[in-house]
């Protein structure tokens, strides 16, 4: 398993002039001297310290190292794969583009020193605010990759209640990351970062494996009826033509009923019916339900519901919060009636009070999810609860 954090002791060579550009580094601590040899004489180009990148330009240019890097003090470096740079350039990320332009300027400055264009003793410039934001993003991406490889990402399950019976019918799978230094990282932050890169695909596969294993453990514990678990699928995952086959394969390999794994598609994606319709067809062919998530979050368009046969509609929490007003009750009642007419179950998200639950029950909503029902839980809490 690769490690993204590397230690170098004082005087240790990090890379030499002429080496192949196998990767770049982010300096976490310590200082590094950059030097070159001109006409047989060693010349110091500059010194790099914490928060600065090392060796990135050779990676971008895919050319041999033009200088030698040696640790002036004990150093801790985070390795950045060449693929990370290539992917960022391919997707034209504006933040990273600004960072690369800054690094290119620094690189040109070093070359100017080498040719006598400026004072060889001049300091290499410190990163600006834009650089720092981009550097932190790259650092977080490397750390997220390492956390995924070490299986440090946690899957938590938030219960979904069948209102009429008061029993827990299923769960929604959520992913959490507790960083050893940062603490709990907001899912919105690291999921957004994962969706900007190819990381969302292996994270999705990791979630799928974990969810299937959870269902097996619940089955082995004799949980009857076996609850369903809802798994969110992102836009980037939908671009993978093998996604549904992979999901079905994982379920069949564990001899699980396909109806116990529910795929959730966010409302913002349903406008792209060309991608969603085949997924619905494939899932329904094996008895796997598909839910429309976040209904009513600003992309509301009833047109797709005419052709896309969702098994479940999840009502956004903003509608549940409006149940203390007559207009809110009227709107939710209309959505309940629409879901029933489409032969779809309705799940109300963000249920936090008994009054909200009672109103939803009166209106005919089948399922409730939210802090009143239960917060996201670890598997051990569910198995021993």
Q: Is residue 357 over pLDDT 70?
A: yes
Q: CB under 8 Å to 183, separation ≥6 — which residues?
A: none
In sequence order, the β-bridge partners of residue 41 are 38
- Residues 334-351: what's their mean pLDDT? 95
Confidence of residue 299 (pLDDT cuts 50, 70, 90): low
**Any alpha helices (H) in 186-272, and if so which ranges?**
187-196, 200-220, 235-238, 243-253
- Which of 90-94, 97-101, 139-143, 295-299 shows the highest mean pLDDT? 139-143
Mean pLDDT of 232-250: 89
Q: How confident is the model at residue 289 (pLDDT cuts 50, 70, 90)?
A: very high
User: At residue 338, what are phi and psi to the nearest 5 degrees?
Assistant: -65, -45
Among 273-282, 349-358, 360-369, the least confident range: 273-282
Helix axes 326-341, 354-363, angle to 10 degrees: 50
Q: What is the pLDDT of residue 38?
A: 79
The pLDDT score that the predictor gives to residue 82 is 80
pLDDT classification of 80: cutoffs 50, 70, 90: confident
Query: What's this model's pTM, rounded to 2 decimal places?
Result: 0.74
Q: What's the mean pLDDT in 72-81? A: 92
Share the mean pLDDT of the chain: 85
In terms of C-beta distances under 8 Å and separation of at least 24 residues, what long-range contacts does 304-310 make, across chains too? 304/270, 304/271, 304/273, 304/276, 305/338, 305/342, 307/273, 307/277, 308/270, 308/273, 308/276, 308/277, 308/280, 309/280, 309/284, 310/265, 310/280, 310/342, 310/344
Predicted pLDDT at 163: 97
Q: What is the mean pLDDT of residues 257-273?
A: 85
115 falls in which pLDDT band (50, 70, 90)? very low
Residue 71 has pLDDT above 50, yes or no: yes
Counting residues of the chain whose pLDDT is more than 90, the rounded percentage is 51
Burial of 368 (0-12, 13-18, 19+ CB in 10 A): buried
Specify the residue for token string 């009054």: 355
Per-residue model confidence (pLDDT) at position 5: 84
User: Tens digit of pLDDT for each residue in 129-184?
Assistant: 555 666 777 788 889 999 999 888 999 999 999 999 999 999 999 999 998 888 89
Q: What is the pLDDT of residue 41?
A: 82
Rounded Cα gap, residues 92 and 379, in angstroms: 40
């Amino acid at each position: 398993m690769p490690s993204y954090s590397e230690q170098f002791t004082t005087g240790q060579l990090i890379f030499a002039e002429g080496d192949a550009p196998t990767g770049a580094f982010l300096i976490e601590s310590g200082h590094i001297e950059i030097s070159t040899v001109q006409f047989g004489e060693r010349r110091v180009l500059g010194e790099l310290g914490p928060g600065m990148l090392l060796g990135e330009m050779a990676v971008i240019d895919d050319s041999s190292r033009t200088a030698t890097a040696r640790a002036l003090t004990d150093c801790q470096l985070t390795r950045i794969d060449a693929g990370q740079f290539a992917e960022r350039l391919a997707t034209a990320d504006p933040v990273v583009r600004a960072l690369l332009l800054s690094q290119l300027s620094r690189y040109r400055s070093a070359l100017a020193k080498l040719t006598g264009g400026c004072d060889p003793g001049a300091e290499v410039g410190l990163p600006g605010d834009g650089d720092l934001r981009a550097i932190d993003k790259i650092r977080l991406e490397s750390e997220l990759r390492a956390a995924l490889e070490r299986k440090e990402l946690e899957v938590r399950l938030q219960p979904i209640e069948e209102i009429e019976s008061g029993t827990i019918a299923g769960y929604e799978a959520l992913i959490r990351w507790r960083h050893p230094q940062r603490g709990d990282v907001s899912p919105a932050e690291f999921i957004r970062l994962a969706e900007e890169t190819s990381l969302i695909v292996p994270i999705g596969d990791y979630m799928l494996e974990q969810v299937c294993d959870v269902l097996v453990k619940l089955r082995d514990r004799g949980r009857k009826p076996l609850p369903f678990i809802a798994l969110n699928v992102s836009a980037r995952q939908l671009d993978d033509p093998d996604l549904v086959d992979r999901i079905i394969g994982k379920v069949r390999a564990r001899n699980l009923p396909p109806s116990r794994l529910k795929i959730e598609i966010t409302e913002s994606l349903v406008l792209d019916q060309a991608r969603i319709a085949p997924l619905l067809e494939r899932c329904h062919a094996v008895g796997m339900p598909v839910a429309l998530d976040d209904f009513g979050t600003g992309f509301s368009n009833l047109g797709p519901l005419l052709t896309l046969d969702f098994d479940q509609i999840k009502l956004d929490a903003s509608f549940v919060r409006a149940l203390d007003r007559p207009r809110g009750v009227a709107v939710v009642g209309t959505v309940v009636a629409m879901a029933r007419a489409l032969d779809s179950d309705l799940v109300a998200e963000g249920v936090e009070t008994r009054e909200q639950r009672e109103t939803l029950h009166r209106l005919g909503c089948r399922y409730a999810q939210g802090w009143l029902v239960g917060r996201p839980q670890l598997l051990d809490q569910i198995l021993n609860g």
